[in-house]
């Protein structure tokens, strides 16, 4: 301990001793310690303030209340049971800002003065660190407890589906290949858009669920048997108007959509990004 203290003392006094030596020709000895120029000359790190959109999702009390409220309403609109239905019923949800909250990615990018890039986005997905949108855990658990099925149709690249699964399971959701089908986007989903029967790039996958031919990731024989039959989509939930079948941002006719909102269609807040 003494050695350390002694060394520290010597180090602390060194600038003062040098000053005295340099000034020895003069009668006075200046005892002002020298400034640490290595720190003073370093360029200050740039800091970027967060947008109101990211602050709203990350910090506000309103965002979690609003999201949880939407899921509360969606839970109230569920059938009491999904058992014994002639055509199995399925709830279709988007993933990003609908099930998973990616506001940490947005915050990290903005704090560095950077925007979205597909490379950084895919790297974020691979981290599997997204949290849950408030209220979604209870909603999905209720669907499964009542014997319902869930189709997650996401525009994350199809090759990243395993990371989506891992992230969702790490969040403690009771999802299995039998009760949940995850479908990332394939090039064919975009190519199928003909602006007549397939108006947005999730329509093809919604049709596949209805027709009994969805390309579910993480499947097995039992799960395949369960999904390879016609399904009835009874509810759609998303943060973007294009999470609803047959609708585009440009052409969505809200008076036709509104009567279904709160019954079979539910929209969540996402101030950070969208097709708008
Ligand atoms: Mg989304």
Q: What is the mean pLDDT of residues 35-57?
A: 75
CA of 82 to the centre of ligand 1 (A): 26
In the β-sheet with 232-238, what is the strand arrangement from edge to edge?
180-185, 149-157, 89-93, 232-238, 265-267
pLDDT band at residue 173 under the 50/70/90 scheme: very high
The 10s digit of each residue's pLDDT in 228-237 is: 999 999 999 9
CA of 84 to the centre of ligand 1 (A): 32
CA of 199 to the centre of ligand 1 (A): 17
CA of 25 to the centre of ligand 1 (A): 75
CA of 18 to the centre of ligand 1 (A): 64
CA of 259 to the centre of ligand 1 (A): 22
CA of 226 to the centre of ligand 1 (A): 26
CA of 47 to the centre of ligand 1 (A): 28
d(Cα 188, Cα 171) in Å, to the nearest integer? 30
CA of 238 to the centre of ligand 1 (A): 6
What residues flank ion ligand 1 with Cβ within 5 A?
Answer: 94, 96-97, 239
CA of 240 to the centre of ligand 1 (A): 6
CA of 184 to the centre of ligand 1 (A): 12
Q: What is the model's pLDDT at position 27?
A: 36
CA of 7 to the centre of ligand 1 (A): 59
CB neighbours of residue 19 within 10 Å: 16
Q: Helices (H), strands (E): how many in the chain?
A: 12, 7
Q: What is the mean pLDDT of residues 238-254?
A: 97
CA of 125 to the centre of ligand 1 (A): 14
CA of 115 to the centre of ligand 1 (A): 17
Which domains, from first to last, does the chain contain?
2-40 (no CATH), 63-267 (3.40.50.1000)
Provide, rounded to the nearest whole percent, the portion of the chain with pLDDT above 70: 84
CA of 239 to the centre of ligand 1 (A): 5
d(Cα 132, Cα 164) in Å, to the nearest integer? 12
d(Cα 199, Cα 254) in Å, to the nearest integer? 16
Q: At residue 154, does pLDDT exceed 80?
A: yes
d(Cα 134, Cα 2) in Å, to the nearest integer? 56
Q: What is the mean pLDDT of residues 103-114?
A: 97
Q: What is the model's pLDDT at position 84?
A: 84
Q: At residue 161, does pLDDT exceed 50?
A: yes
Q: What is the mean pLDDT of residues 36-57?
A: 76
The 10s digit of each residue's pLDDT in 50-79 is: 999 999 999 999 999 999 999 999 999 999
CA of 95 to the centre of ligand 1 (A): 6
pLDDT band at residue 208 under the 50/70/90 scheme: very high
The 10s digit of each residue's pLDDT in 15-34 is: 333 333 333 333 333 333 44
CA of 41 to the centre of ligand 1 (A): 45
Whole-structure pTM value: 0.83
pLDDT band at residue 216 under the 50/70/90 scheme: very high
Q: What is the mean pLDDT of residues 239-260?
A: 97
CB 208 within 8 A of CB 215: yes
Q: At residue 4, does pLDDT exceed 50?
A: no
Q: What is the model's pLDDT at position 276?
A: 93
CA of 134 to the centre of ligand 1 (A): 14
d(Cα 71, Cα 137) in Å, to the nearest integer? 9
Q: What is the mean pLDDT of residues 79-100?
A: 96
Q: What is the model's pLDDT at position 41?
A: 57
């Amino acid at each position: 301990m003494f050695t350390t203290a002694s060394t520290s003392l010597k180090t602390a006094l060194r600038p003062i001793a040098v000053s005295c030596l340099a000034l020895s020709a003069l009668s006075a000895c200046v005892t002002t310690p020298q400034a640490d120029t290595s720190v003073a000359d370093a360029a200050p790190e740039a800091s970027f303030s967060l947008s109101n959109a990211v602050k709203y999702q990350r910090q506000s009390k309103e965002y979690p209340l609003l999201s949880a409220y939407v899921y509360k309403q969606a839970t109230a609109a569920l059938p009491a049971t999904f058992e014994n239905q002639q055509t199995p019923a399925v709830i279709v949800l988007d993933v990003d800002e609908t099930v998973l909250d990616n506001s940490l990615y947005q915050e990290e990018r903005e704090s560095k003065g950077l925007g979205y890039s597909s490379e950084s986005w895919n790297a974020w997905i691979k981290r599997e660190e997204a949290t849950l949108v408030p209220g979604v855990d209870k909603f999905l658990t209720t669907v499964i407890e009542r014997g319902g099925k869930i189709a997650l149709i996401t525009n994350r690249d199809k090759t990243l589906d395993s990371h989506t699964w891992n992230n969702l399971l790490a969040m403690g959701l009771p999802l299995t290949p039998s009760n949940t089908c995850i479908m990332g986007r394939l090039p064919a989903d975009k190519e199928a858009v003909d602006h007549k029967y397939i108006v947005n790039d999730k329509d093809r996958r919604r049709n596949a669920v209805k027709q009994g031919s969805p390309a579910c990731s993480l499947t097995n024989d039992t799960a395949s048997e369960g999904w390879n039959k016609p399904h009835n989509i009874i509810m759609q939930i998303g943060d973007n108007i294009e999470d609803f079948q047959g609708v585009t941002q440009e052409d969505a006719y809200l008076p036709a959509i509104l009567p279904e909102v709160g019954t079979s269609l539910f929209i969540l807040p996402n101030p950070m990004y969208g097709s708008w």
